[in-house]
Amino acid sequence: MVSVSKARARLDLEQRRLDHANDLLRMFPDAEDAALEGAARTRINKRLRRLERKAHLICIDYCNGVRQMTEDGEYPELNAIEVQVDKILGNADKRVPTEINLDPRGYALKIDAAWMREHYSATGTPLWQDLGGYGILSPRIEGWEQ
């Protein structure tokens, strides 16, 4: 039997996930999951979270010298992840400047801080942000990884 407080916490967690998905889908109306309804809309969170974890581990490897950038100064593994993120978000034209932060101490998948200040923060929709004002595409909403 599930206690009332656990059930309420579970509903709150599901609502926060849905709220974040809805915020993302308002920002990226051409996203692959934009046509989904209800709780199915949280699929975008799961897909981005998977890529977030993968990018984070790759950034740790770069920081620790396990992986090396190419002679051109490129990060091929991260470039491939960025293409996948833009495909999920329907952002191939880069109208919203997404990026991968190489610093492994925080989130990897972000939206440019200047763009957030100029375009998105004015709408009042609360997208997760770090202290520098960068938008967080895939925050760890507590209870997500069980």
Could you tell me the residue ranges of all domains in the chain? 4-136
At position 140, the amino acid (one-letter code) is R
| pLDDT for the residue numbered 71 | 86
Q: What does the pLDDT profile of the chain (146 residues) look like in tens digits?
A: 556 677 777 788 888 889 999 989 988 999 999 889 988 999 999 999 999 999 999 999 999 999 888 888 889 999 999 999 999 999 999 889 999 999 999 999 999 999 888 877 555 667 888 989 899 999 988 754 43
CA–CA distance, 60 with 105 (Å, rounded to integer)? 9
Beta bridge partners of 125: none
> What is the predicted pLDDT for the residue at 11?
81
